[in-house]
Amino acid sequence: MKQSKRYYIETFGCQMNERDSEIMGQLLKEEAYSATDVMEQADLIVVNTCSVREKAEQKAYSLLGRLKKLKEKNTGLIIAVAGCVAQQDGQRMLQRIPHVDLVIGPQKIYDLPSLLQGQKSCKTPEVRTGLSPLFAIPPFLPDVKNGSHFKRFVTIMQGCNNFCTYCVVPYTRGREISRNFDEIVNEVAHLAASGITEVTLLGQNVNSYGQDNAGTELAGLATFPDLLRAVAKVEGIQRLRFTTSHPKDLSETLMRCFAEIDTLCPHLHLPVQSGSNRLLKLMNRHYTKEAYLDKITRLRTIRPDVAITTDLIVGFPGETDEDFQATMALLEEVRYHNAFSFKYSDRPPARAIAFADKVTEEVKNDRLARLKERQEEITVERNREYVGRTLSVMVEGCGRTNGEQWSGRASTNHIVNFAGPSGLLPGQMISVTIAEGGPHSLRGVADVCNKGREQ
C-alpha cells in the first residue's frame, strides 16, 4: 500500500500561531497527509514563524537555513513558511532562503491545499501574502479527534489597530477583524460536544472584540463581555480563559465578568510594558501607570483571588535609569504572579526604529537581569501564599518521576505538581492542597490521598 505523505510543522511564537498550526494540520489531514514528529521523514515541512521580537525571527531563519541539507537529500521535499515573518518578508524570503517553496501570510493559511496542488504541477516557488481589511476567518470546525481532548484555543479576532510604537503586529497581521459571533459560539459548542471542557478565547486584543463593527448593523451588539457570556452558556465548558488584553480596553463591564461568570478563570494577563508614564506615551499605549493601577485595584476588589501576569519591555529607546526604576517600582506595587520580560528590539516598520537614544545591549542585559531576578522573588512569594489552600486542579498529565506524581493547572493558571491516586485522566478535576510554592509551579497532595493517610 502506498504510504500517505507526511507533514511536520514547527511553530514559533504565540498561541495564535499554535492555533494556526492546528488549522494547517487539519487542512493537511483532509488532503490525506499524516503528521510526523521526525522532520527528516517529512514530505512537507511548515515553519510557522513569529516576528514579534528579533530573537523569534532569528530562530525561524536559523531553522530554515538548516533545512537546506534536507532539501538536498530529498528534492521532492516541500518547505513552506507561514506566519508573521512570511508576511513581512514575502518575496525577499525566497532570495534569502532559495530552498523555500511556499511563503504564506497569516490570512492565507486556508490556501495551503491549493498551493500544494500548484506545487504538483509546477515547481516554481510561490508567495501568497497580503492583508485584506475584508478578510473573514472562515467557519472551520476544529478536528476534535486530534489534539488535546480537554482544552482548546478558539481564535475570536485577528490583527491589531493599536500601533504600539515597538510592535510589528499591525503590519504583519493587519487591522483588527472580529470573527462572526455565532460562528465562535458554534465552534465552542462543537468542542464541548466532544468533551472539551476548557476553552481559551484568543486575539491580539480580545477586549476590543466587535469594535471593528462600528458603523455596521452589528455595532454595539456584540462586545467582548457579550461573547464571554454567550460562550459561558455552552453546556460542558467548565473553564473559560482569554488572552491578550490591552489595559486601555479593560472596561468595568469586562472586569465584572470575573465576578458574574462562574466558569471564567481568575487569571488576567494584562501587559503593562513599562512603569514610566513618559515611556508609556512614547510607546503609544494610551494609559498612565496610575490608570493601570486603578484598574488592577478595581479588578482585585471585584475578584480578590485573581492572579495577574504581565509583559514588560526593558531598553525601549530613550529609557533612562529613572524610567527603569519606575518599572521596578511597579513590580513592587502590583506584585504580579508572573511577568514575561523582554529586551526591546527594533522591528521595522514599527515607528520606534526611528526613535533616538537607543539603549546599549549592555544596559539592556543588566536591566533585564535585575528585573527578572526581582520578579522571580515576587513570584515565589506569591506562590507561597497558596500554601495550605485547596485548589481545584485540571489534570494535564503524569509528572516526571512516577505514575503517582501528576501535573495540572489551577484556575489561576498556575502549574500544580501533586501526588495523587493512580489512574487519573487528563482533563479530570481534582482537589489539591498546596504544600509548597516554587519559582515555576506549586506543589501539593490530592485531597483523596491526604484523606487516605488520615484514616
CB burial readout 387-407, b (16+ within 10 A) else e: eeeebebbbbebbeeeebebb
The binder of 53, among ligand SF4, ligand 5AD, none, by C-beta within 5 to 8 A per type, is: ligand 5AD
User: For residue 346, what are the CA distances in angstroms to 54, 165, 268, 354?
Assistant: 7, 10, 28, 9
- With cell 511577568, the residue in question is 339
Contact 367, 314 (CB under 8 A): yes
The binder of 345, among ligand 5AD, ligand SF4, none, by C-beta within 5 to 8 A per type, is: ligand 5AD
Residues near ligand SF4 (CB under 6 A) are 160, 162-164, 167, 169-170, 204-205, 246
The binder of 205, among ligand SF4, ligand 5AD, none, by C-beta within 5 to 8 A per type, is: ligand SF4
CA dist 455 and 447 (Å) reads 13
User: For residue 164, what are the CA distances in angstroms to 12, 310, 323, 343, 423?
Assistant: 22, 16, 18, 16, 48
The binder of 263, among ligand SF4, ligand 5AD, none, by C-beta within 5 to 8 A per type, is: none
Stretch that binds ligand 5AD, among 112-120, 188-196, 249-257, 343-351 (CB under 6 A): 343-351
The minimum distance between CB 202 and ligand SF4, in angstroms, equals: 12
Rounded to 5 degrees, φ, ψ at 34 are -120, 155
Rounded to 5 degrees, φ, ψ at 154 are -130, 120
For position 166 contacting ligand 5AD by CB under 6 A, the verdict is: yes
Residue with Cβ nearer ligand SF4 (336 or 386): 336
Residue with Cβ nearer ligand 5AD (166 or 258): 166
Is residue 149 packed enough to be buried (19+ CB in 10 Å), middle (13-18) or exposed (0-12)? middle
The minimum distance between CB 315 and ligand 5AD, in angstroms, equals: 8
> Segment 298-337, which members bind ligand 5AD (CB under 6 A)?
311, 313
In the list 345, 411, 413, 417, the residue contacting ligand 5AD (rule: CB under 6 A) is 345
Going by C-alpha positions, the residue among 100, 81, 89, 68 that lies closest to residue 20 is: 81
What mask of x and - would describe binding to ligand 5AD in positions 229 to 268, judged by CB under 6 A?
Answer: ----------------------------------------
The binder of 406, among ligand SF4, ligand 5AD, none, by C-beta within 5 to 8 A per type, is: none
Going by C-alpha positions, the residue among 125, 450, 434, 52 that lies closest to residue 273 is: 52
In the list 9, 28, 46, 52, the residue contacting ligand 5AD (rule: CB under 6 A) is 52
Look up residue 37 and give its DSSP letter. S
- For the record, the C-alpha cell of 73 comes out as 537529500
The minimum distance between CB 311 and ligand 5AD, in angstroms, equals: 3
Residue with Cβ nearer ligand SF4 (149 or 248): 248
The binder of 344, among ligand SF4, ligand 5AD, none, by C-beta within 5 to 8 A per type, is: ligand 5AD
The binder of 160, among ligand SF4, ligand 5AD, none, by C-beta within 5 to 8 A per type, is: ligand SF4
The binder of 105, among ligand 5AD, ligand SF4, none, by C-beta within 5 to 8 A per type, is: none
Contact 166, 344 (CB under 8 A): yes
User: For residue 94, what are the CA distances in angstroms to 61, 160, 209, 389?
Assistant: 12, 27, 35, 55
For position 285 contacting ligand 5AD by CB under 6 A, the verdict is: no
Going by C-alpha positions, the residue among 85, 44, 31 that lies closest to residue 62 is: 85
In the list 107, 172, 245, 273, the residue contacting ligand 5AD (rule: CB under 6 A) is 273
For position 344 contacting ligand 5AD by CB under 6 A, the verdict is: yes
For position 292 contacting ligand 5AD by CB under 6 A, the verdict is: no
The binder of 211, among ligand 5AD, ligand SF4, none, by C-beta within 5 to 8 A per type, is: none
Nearest position to ligand 5AD, beta carbon: 311
Residue with Cβ nearer ligand 5AD (167 or 434): 167
For position 271 contacting ligand 5AD by CB under 6 A, the verdict is: yes
The binder of 254, among ligand SF4, ligand 5AD, none, by C-beta within 5 to 8 A per type, is: none
Residue with Cβ nearer ligand 5AD (116 or 169): 169
Sign of the CA dihedral with 397 first, then 400, 405, and 407 last = negative
Strand bridging mode 157-158 / 34-35: unpaired
- For the record, the C-alpha cell of 304 comes out as 480578590
- For the record, the C-alpha cell of 332 comes out as 513592587
CA dist 60 and 196 (Å) reads 32
User: For residue 380, what are the CA distances in angstroms to 283, 337, 372?
Assistant: 30, 8, 12
Q: Which residues bind ligand 5AD (CB under 6 A)?
A: 52-53, 166-167, 271, 273, 311, 313, 342, 344-345, 347
